[in-house]
Structure 1
Amino acid sequence: MVVMAVISAVGLVIDDRVLVGAPIWFKPFKFAVSFVAYCLSLAWMLSLLPRGRRVGWWAGTVVALASLVEMAIITGQVIRGKRSHFNHETPLDEALFQAMAVTVVILWLGTLAVAVLLLRARIADRASAWAMRCGILLALAGAAVGFLMTRPAPGQRRGVSKVIGAHSVGVSDGGPSMPLTGWSTTGGDLRIPHFVGMHALQLLPLLIAVLTALAPRFGRLTDDRVRLRLVLLASGAYGAVFALVLWQALRGQPLTHPDGATLGVAGLILVAIVLGAYGSLRGPTPPAGRVADDAGTSKEVTA
Structure 2
Amino acid sequence: MGGSALERDRRVERACHLLGAALIGAGLFHLAVFAVDGGPWAGPVSWRKPATFGLSFGLTLITVTWVASYLPLGGRLRAWLLGVFAVDCLVEVGGITLQAWRRVPSHVNRETPFDSAVSTVLAVGGGVLIVVLGVLAVAAFRPNPRVPADMRLALRAGFTTLVIALGTGAAMIARGVINVNTGHQQEAYEVVGFLKAAHGVSLHGVLVLPALAALLAFTGWNEGRRTRVVAVAAAGYGVAIAAALASSAVT
What is the TM-score of this pair, normalised by structure 2? Answer: 0.79
CA contact (8 A) 1:17 1:24 kept: yes
Match of 1:197 in 2: 202
Quote the residue 1:238 is aligned against.
Answer: 237
Q: 1:45 aligns with which of 48, 67, 85?
A: 67
Contact 1:204–1:235, Cα closer than 8 Å, also in 2:
yes
Contact 1:86-1:97 at 8 Å conserved across structures: yes
2:215 is the counterpart of 1:248: no
Question: Cα 1:64–1:132, aligned 2, differ >3 Å: closer, same or farther?
Answer: same
Distance between the aligned counterparts of 2:93 and 2:108, measured in 1? 15
CA contact (8 A) 1:204 1:234 kept: yes
Instruction: Check if 1:119 corresponds to 2:144.
Output: no
Residues 35-114 of structure 1: pairs in structure 2 closer than 5 A? 35-49=57-71, 51-114=73-136
Note closer, same or farther for the CA distance 1:204–1:23 as it changes in structure 2 (3 Å cut).
same
Q: Percent identity?
A: 27
Structure 2: give runs of 5+ residues left out of the alignment: 1-22
Distance 2:217 2:59 in 1: 21
Residues in 1 aligned to 2:41 and 2:228: alpha-carbon distance in whole angstroms: 46
Deviation of 1:17 after TM superposition, in Å, equals 4.4
In the alignment, is residue 143 of structure 1 matched against residue 148 of structure 2? no
Instruction: Kindly indicate whether the alpha-carbon contact (under 8 Å) linking 1:50 and 1:122 is maintained by their aligned counterparts in 2.
Output: no
Mean Cα deviation higher: 114-123 or 99-108: 114-123
Other-structure match for 1:275: none
Report the counterpart of residue 223 of structure 1 in structure 2: 222
Are the counterparts in 2 of residues 17 and 23 from structure 1 also a CA contact under 8 Å? no
Q: Is 1:207 aligned to 2:180, yes or no?
A: no
CA distance in 2 between partners of 1:161 and 1:51 (Å): 45
* Structure 1 position 128 matched with structure 2 position 114: no
Change (3 A) 1:13 1:157: closer
Conserved 8 A contact 2:109-2:185: yes
Whether the 8 Å CA contact 2:154–2:210 is kept in 1: the answer is yes
Equivalents in 1 of 2:158, 2:50: separation in Å? 25
C-alpha distance in structure 2 between counterparts of 1:110 and 1:143, whole Å? 11
CA contact (8 A) 2:110 2:180 kept: no
C-alpha distance 14-128 of structure 1, shift in aligned 2 (>3 A): same
Kept in 2: contact 1:88–1:161 (CA 8 A): no
The structure whose Rg is larger is 1
Q: Contact conserved, 1:56 with 1:117, CA < 8 A, in 2? A: no
Give the distance between the partners of 1:108 and 1:156, measured in 2 at CA.
Answer: 23
Distance 1:233 1:98 in 2: 40
Q: 2: distance between equivalents of 1:14 and 1:61?
A: 35
| Greater displacement, 159-168 / 119-128 | 159-168
Counterparts of 1:238 and 1:119, CA distance in 2: 19
Question: Is the 1:151–1:164 contact (alpha carbons within 8 Å) kept by the matching residues of 2?
Answer: no
Q: Find the counterpart in structure 1 of residue 16 from structure 2.
A: none
- CA–CA separation in structure 2 for the residues paired with 1:30 and 1:129: 29
Q: Residue type of the partner of 1:191?
A: K
Which amino acid is the alignment partner of residue 108 of structure 2? F
* 1:25 aligned partner: 47
Equivalent position amino acid for 2:243 in 1: L
By relative contact order (CA 8 Å, sep 6+), the higher-ranking structure is 2
- The 1-side partners of 2:145 and 2:82 are apart by 20
Superposition CA RMSD, Å: 2.6
Aligned length: 227
Residue 208 of structure 1 and its aligned partner are, at CA, apart by 1.6
